[in-house]
Structure formats: C-alpha cells, structure tokens
Structure 1
Amino acid sequence: MRFLVGGYSADSGGIATGIGVLLAGEPDSGSAAGPLAVVGEAVSASSPSWVSWNEGTDVAYATLEAEGTVRAFRRIGEDRFAPLGDAVEAGEAVCHVAVSPDGGTLVATCWGDGRVVRYPLTSDGRIGRPSFAPAAVDPSAPGGVTGAVSDVEAAAAEVGIDLAALGLGGRGDAGLFGGRGLDGVAGLDGMASFGGMGGGVSGDADAAALTGPVDRPEPAEERVSRAHQTVFLTGGLVATSDLGFDLVRFWRLVDGRLQPLHDVSLPYGSGPRHMVWHPSGHLYVVTEYSCEVFALARDEAGRWRVVSGAPLGAGTLAGDSAAELAPSRDGAFLYAGVRGSNTIAVVAVRGAGETLAPVALVEAGVDWPRHHLVVRDTLLVAGERSDDVVSLTLDIRSGVPGRVRHRTSAPSPTCLTPLV
C-alpha cells in the first residue's frame, strides 16, 4: 500500500525536502502489514506538514507550514506529483487541511494565528480564492461567549457538582480527569453523573501517575487562538478545533462561506487538538495539554455538547502532549499518540459510543509520535524526532498494539496519508 509522507524541512527544524512516498507491503495491496520502505519523493516542497488526498481528482493538498500557504499537487505518475497552480495564502503556521466529501471545498486551519480558511476547489482540483471565517473568541476572557466556565463545568453545575471543590477540571490544573477519576468520587457514579460524564479511571488509581499540564496558560495570561484541525461531519456540518482557546467550533457552509453555528468549550488549558467522527454520531476530541479524550454529541435541540470523557491512561507523565487520534477499523477503540513518554494510548468506546474508558498505554516505537493511522490490523506511526515510520500489529480482540513489526527511515515525518 502506498502513502504520502508529509514532513518538516530545514525552515521548520527538520530534514525533509518534500512529500515522500512510503510503501507498506505490496504497492497495490489493501493491507499495510508488510515491510516498510520510503521509495522516493513525490514532489519537492517546503515543510509540507500535512497532506490530504482527493481521490476524485488525483490531487494532493499540502500545508506549507513555514510559508503560511496551501498548495495543490497533481499526480503525474505512479509516485510522482507536480504543482497545480500557485501556493495560496492561508495563515501563520497553517498546520492542517481537509477536503469536503463532495470535493468542492478545502478548509485550512492555522496554529499560529487561529485562522480558519475556506477555499473553493475547481472540477480539476485547483484551489480558488480564500475566504476567512470569523475569528474565535476566548470564552475565558472578559466578554467571552461563555465567560470562564467550560461546557463541562456548566454540565456539572446543572446537577449541583462543584468540580473545583473536588479537584476536577477548572483552570490551570491537570484537566477534568487529570487529578482524580470520577468513579470513586462521592456524588459521581459514572454514567449516572451529569448527563453521561464518566468512564474515567477508578477512584483508587494513583493520582500522582495521572496526566499533568504541558505549558498550560495561567488565567492571567493573554491567550492566542490556535486553530488545529477540520472534520467534515454529516448533514453539511463542519467542526474545527481551537487548541489555544479550548474550543470545538461548529460551522455550516452557506453560499461558499463558513457560517458559525456555536462553540463547545472544553476545560481551561486542556488544548483540544484533533478529532475523529464516529459512526455512532459522536465526535471524539483528544486534548494536547491535558492528555484526555472527550466525546461530543448533539442534544435534542441540535446543539453539540460534551457527554463523556476519559484520561488517556495512568502512565502519561507531566510534560507529555497528545497528538493524533485515530479509530480502530470497527470503531471499538481510539488510539492517541502521546509525545514525551512516546506511547500510544488505547481508549475503548463503549455503550452507544457515549462512554470512553482507558485500556492501555504501549510503547510507540518512535521518538515523538506525531501522527498515526490504522489500516486494518496495522497501526502505522510516524516518529518526527527519530526520523522513522514503524508498524505495530493490532490485537483485534483487545485492541492493544504489539511490538514494532517493521521500521523504515523517513525524514522528519509529520503526516501519513493513504494514496489510493
């Protein structure tokens, strides 16, 4: 199976010189379980940190992060690409780009300045003129859309639970589940508590071993919007994450522009980074700073809200930061990369998708697992700082990855994209 490999170039402290091509097993196989090899460079580019593929037009879209632009590349051979049009303005440190299911829209998110940018795509895949979505508002700032109270804290308040008094959530601590588990706290009994919030660690877990903050801002500090990812949902909805303001923002495409619907705020300083849409109708969000995963769902009025959450595991350490989130083939498990301790966290999806529970933390086999994806029973992991890609075999029954099966060198890899 073929994959495009995004990476950091010298302008971002890396050693990549463009978008690479990775073979996992046989080139035309639907499995990635075989030996790994980077067989060349698809196209030269400057820090193409994220690459998305549009099968309908044979065009790849890359974020040129250091330049603050996005660019299209057309496939001209089995493993070769060429620029399709010029690079187009995005924003500072643009880090993710996603193509709509109908192939007509591209949305970019920018870590540096928080921009969310929408582009029309022509029938042959060319990028049109950008339109910039309304900027995010920090809910913790004076005049913010929800004040200083996250939607998680608000849900607790509805049933008379003071998270701060219990050492949960709130500003500048270790996150909603980072200090204590919910199941062992008086008044919090798993799914019976505040609308399904539960599934965290048990109350007798070693609190000192649980997740801790990673450069989380103090309340007095001025925060910066940092848009990080886009997910296209069903029904024409779009979700974007804002790591800097602890927001998941929901949009609808109207007349070629992103029309804001509403925001969901997560605990202060948690840092929502990447998201996964699940067939159950839930949107799962991994938080970079607090190393947690949250489940969001729509209520009867059609508004999104947090319905559950869990820590990534009792083995994450202070200083760790979560990166990518990916589902298993059957959706029964979520896999989160944890940089620092260099592990993969396994989280079980239970019930009708509303309950999350940590299962295991295993060695990622790389330094700084920046990105990973699941192909059938294989987990491919990109090690940004170890300059390699590895494959781990997944146990179908337990969902837990095994030891490294195959490894290949890859320059500063930041993204793995199936090339089909």
Structure 2
Amino acid sequence: MTRFWVGGYGSAMDGQAEGIGLLAGDADRQTSLAYRGAVTQTPSPSWLAQHPTLDVVYAALEADAGVQAFVRSGESSLQPLGEPVAVGDGVCHVAVAPRGDFVVASCYGDGRVVRIGVDPQGRLIADAVNKAAELRAALLGEPLEAAAPAGVAASASDPYAGARTAEGGERVSHAHAAAFLADGRIATTDLGFDLVRIWRHGAHGLILDHEVALPMGTGPRHMVVHPSGHLHVVTEYSCEVFTLAAGVDGTWAVVGSVLTSPIAEIGTDFPAELARSRDGQFVYTALRGSNTIAALRVRGAGESLEPFALADSGVDWPRHHLVHEGKMLVAGQRSDTVALLDLDERTGAPLGIRHRTVVPTPTHFLPVR
C-alpha cells in the first residue's frame, strides 16, 4: 500500500494541520489516496526527513523554532524520540547526513544554519555539541566562540552590501535548505542574500568552505543533486533554475541558468520545491501564483536544463511536490488539498490530474519506508 507522512502548518502558521499526517492508498486502488488523520500532535511540522537506516523521522517545527525526532511505533504511527531541540527562528528545512550521524537545519527567520548530532538510536544530541565545544576550548585555551558552540554555523554576509530589496527594505539573511553533495560537502541556500554556501563537516560543526553568489534578487530556495554531481538550484524571486558544478580545484560555480518556463511571471509566480525523476532525465518545479508545474529536461551531462512543459498543478499554492512511481503528488497549502498527477513515461510531461483529496494545510510529503 502506498503511504506518505505529511507535514503541515498548524494554527500558529495560519493552518489547519494537527501534526504529522498520514496519506494512504488502498491496496487495490494505488492511485486513489485518502487522508487518514494526524499520527502525532505536533505544531507545524512543515518539513520531514527520513533517517537513512532507522525508522526515525525528523520534523522541522517551523512555528516553534525547533527540530524533533520521531520513531516508528507501528505500521502507521509515530511517537516522539526525545524532546525537541531549539535551533532558530522559522526553521523550515532539515536534511539528514548520508551516514545518519547528524542533521542540518535551515532557519528562514534568522538565517541560521545549524548542525545537530544524532546518536546510534536516532536521537538528536545537540547538547553533546555544546559539551564538545566547551571541552575543546578549555583544552586548547581558545575562546569558546572559536569552537562553534551549539552547532550554529557561521552567519552569512550579504555579497551585495548596501543593496535593498525590491520593496526598498533592508536585505536579511534567510537560510532555506541544505543538500549533501557527492564529494562529502554540504550546500545550503540563503534566499535573502542570494547565496549558495558550501560547507565541510568538521568534528565540532560545519566549517564554511566557500560561497557562490547568484545574481542579486534571485532568491535561491531549494536544490536537487543530479546523479551527474551537478547541483540544480531553483530561485523564488527570478523564476530560474541555476546549475552549479565543482571545478578541478573543488570550487563550485554557476555553469548555466534557465527560466523555469518561458511564460513564468516574475513577481506573480514564486517557485517552491525542485524535484527530479528517478533517472535524472527531468526536473520539476511548482510555481505558486499561477499554480502550475513546470517541467524541464536535463541536457548534456547534467549541466544544462530546457523547459518543455507547463501544466495545472491541481491545487492552490503548490508548496511541495514529489515524484513517486511515475506519478506526482502536489501539496496545496492554501486549498487544503493534495493532487495526484500522471506523468508521461516517455516524455516526462505532466499529463493531467488523476485524483484530489482533502488534506489540512499540507506542506511536505515523505514516503513511509
């Protein structure tokens, strides 16, 4: 049976979700999904991430500025695994390291990027970061801040110092997502400062390696790592996808960019998630505003993209979408619905809306493993 954990916005984020929900299909009707209710009582678990080897799910508690671990307690149930860990204002994304030994949380509100340790059972162990930092500082005679206490990484600086937003306001750091790269480093986006930041993982936290500045006002939001190793980054403000690659010296740089769709309207459309097909031939983004799905074909060795289709998402304000077994699920934040779209097996184009179901303020899908 096809099943998905569903993250959502609760009352503190002007939503109706009561916690992590369950979306499931009948054994005989895999393309007919129904919402089975909340399986946790969790305020605004807006992003979910799976541990690579354990039945543990991590949730970004966006309204509560924390991250919490949940362990599978039954076929379709979760229970808390320890207490939430405070990370920062507006935490909107969490990514788990390939070995499952730490997670990286991104905070839209205050721009923080935070590394949290994970123990062998999947529990979050942020306090251990503090203790390790304090011990190292004492042994080496260093000031405590040199040891990166609490797992908070170095804050971002605006590469366009003195610039203003399109509305004339002050530019502010907004960390938004993290992705683990094939070479073991970590990429994070800063939507407010137009940055993709590249990190190394040290014994006591994240160490900034270098940064890639995108054009001012683009707003890098989410990323997907292509099987070729290229990094595709969708921008919320300029409706583009930038492709980054590492040079022979390991320094990442932009190697290409393309509009998500020739008819995307900047200032009206705001791309959200970026997802790829399993074989890496296609990537898809959702345009909030026109409420459409834009499909792009991957060219060459992954270094360039070509938009080729635009389709109705079936929802209002498509905040997240997921390609799963030749179909696409789309979360409509403002319509309290989830839509299931068919995808053309040969061309990758969205074909149409197969099914809709009511789900309270959905913001993220995670397949139940």
Mark yes or no: TM-score above 0.5. Answer: yes
Query: Matched residues in 1 for 2:305 and 2:18: separation?
Result: 40
1:321 has 2:318 as partner? no
3-state DSSP of counterpart to 1:97: strand
Aligned to 1:257: 205
Aligned to 2:22: 21
Q: What is the Cα deviation at residue 360 of structure 1? A: 1.5
3-state DSSP of counterpart to 1:66: helix
Aligned to 2:159: 139
Aligned to 2:228: 280
Gaps of 5+ in 2: 127-149
3-state DSSP of counterpart to 1:396: coil
8 Å contact from structure 2 (residues 67, 86) kept in 1:
yes
3-state DSSP of counterpart to 2:39: strand
Q: Indicate which of 33, 36, 42 corresponds to 1:36.
A: 33
Give the TM-score normalised by the residue count of structure 1.
0.80
Aligned pair count reads 344
1:357 has 2:306 as partner? yes
Q: What is the Cα deviation at residue 25 of structure 1? A: 5.1
Report the residue type matching 1:141 in the other structure: A
Answer 1 or 2: which has greater strand percent.
2
Q: What is the Cα deviation at residue 56 of structure 1? A: 1.8
Query: Matched residues in 2 for 1:396 and 1:351: separation?
Result: 20
Query: Matched residues in 2 for 1:25 and 1:305: separation?
Result: 46
Query: Matched residues in 1 for 2:204 and 2:30: separation?
Result: 41
8 Å contact from structure 1 (residues 41, 80) kept in 2:
no
Aligned to 1:396: 345
Query: Matched residues in 1 for 2:331 and 2:27: separation?
Result: 19
Q: What is the Cα deviation at residue 348 of structure 1? A: 1.1
Query: Matched residues in 2 for 1:300 and 1:122: separation?
Result: 35
1:103 has 2:100 as partner? yes
8 Å contact from structure 1 (residues 379, 393) kept in 2:
yes
Aligned to 1:61: 58
Report the residue type matching 2:17 in the other structure: A
Report the residue type matching 1:106 in the other structure: V
Query: Matched residues in 2 for 1:3 and 1:63: separation?
Result: 17
Q: What is the Cα deviation at residue 55 of structure 1? A: 4.7
3-state DSSP of counterpart to 2:173: coil
Query: Matched residues in 2 for 1:25 and 1:310: separation?
Result: 40
Matches within 5 A, 1:212-223: 217=166, 221-223=169-171
Report the residue type matching 1:235 in the other structure: D
1:76 has 2:76 as partner? no
8 Å contact from structure 1 (residues 217, 223) kept in 2:
no
Report the residue type matching 1:241 in the other structure: T
Q: What is the Cα deviation at residue 221 of structure 1? A: 3.6
8 Å contact from structure 2 (residues 181, 229) kept in 1:
no
Query: Matched residues in 1 for 2:303 and 2:342: separation?
Result: 27
Matches within 5 A, 1:5-404: 5-24=6-25, 26=27, 34-129=31-126, 130-141=150-161, 217=166, 221-317=169-265, 318-404=267-353
Higher relative CO (Cα under 8 Å, sequence separation at least 6) belongs to 1
Query: Matched residues in 1 for 2:227 and 2:54: separation?
Result: 26
Q: Which moved more, 1:342-351 or 1:38-47?
A: 38-47
3-state DSSP of counterpart to 1:135: coil
3-state DSSP of counterpart to 1:260: strand
8 Å contact from structure 1 (residues 327, 374) kept in 2:
yes
Q: What is the Cα deviation at residue 419 of structure 1? A: 1.1
Report the residue type matching 1:278 in the other structure: H
Query: Matched residues in 1 for 2:25 and 2:192: separation?
Result: 36
RMSD over aligned CA atoms reads 1.5
Report the residue type matching 1:303 in the other structure: T
3-state DSSP of counterpart to 1:11: helix
Deviations 1:42-89 (A, max 9, x none): 211000001111152211111111110111111111111111111111
Deviations 1:343-395 (A, max 9, x none): 00111110111111111111101000000010121011111111111111111
Q: What is the Cα deviation at residue 235 of structure 1? A: 2.5
3-state DSSP of counterpart to 2:40: strand
Q: Which moved more, 1:89-98 or 1:50-59?
A: 50-59
3-state DSSP of counterpart to 1:235: coil
8 Å contact from structure 2 (residues 309, 350) kept in 1:
no
3-state DSSP of counterpart to 2:76: coil
Report the residue type matching 1:273 in the other structure: R
Q: What is the Cα deviation at residue 40 of structure 1? A: 2.3
Report the residue type matching 1:335 in the other structure: Y
Aligned to 2:358: 409
Aligned to 1:157: none
Deviations 1:303-355 (A, max 9, x none): 00000010011222241100000001211111001000000011111011111
Q: How has the CA–CA distance of structure 1 residues 401 and 74 changed in structure 2, closer, same or farther, with 3 Å as cutoff?
A: same
Query: Matched residues in 2 for 1:217 and 1:229: separation?
Result: 22
Question: Deviating runs (4+, > 4 A) in structure 1?
Answer: none
Q: What is the Cα deviation at residue 405 of structure 1? A: 0.5
Query: Matched residues in 1 for 2:63 and 2:332: separation?
Result: 20
Report the residue type matching 2:181 in the other structure: L
8 Å contact from structure 2 (residues 275, 284) kept in 1:
yes
Q: What is the Cα deviation at residue 227 of structure 1? A: 0.3
Query: Matched residues in 2 for 1:279 and 1:222: separation?
Result: 38
Query: Matched residues in 2 for 1:256 and 1:281: separation?
Result: 27
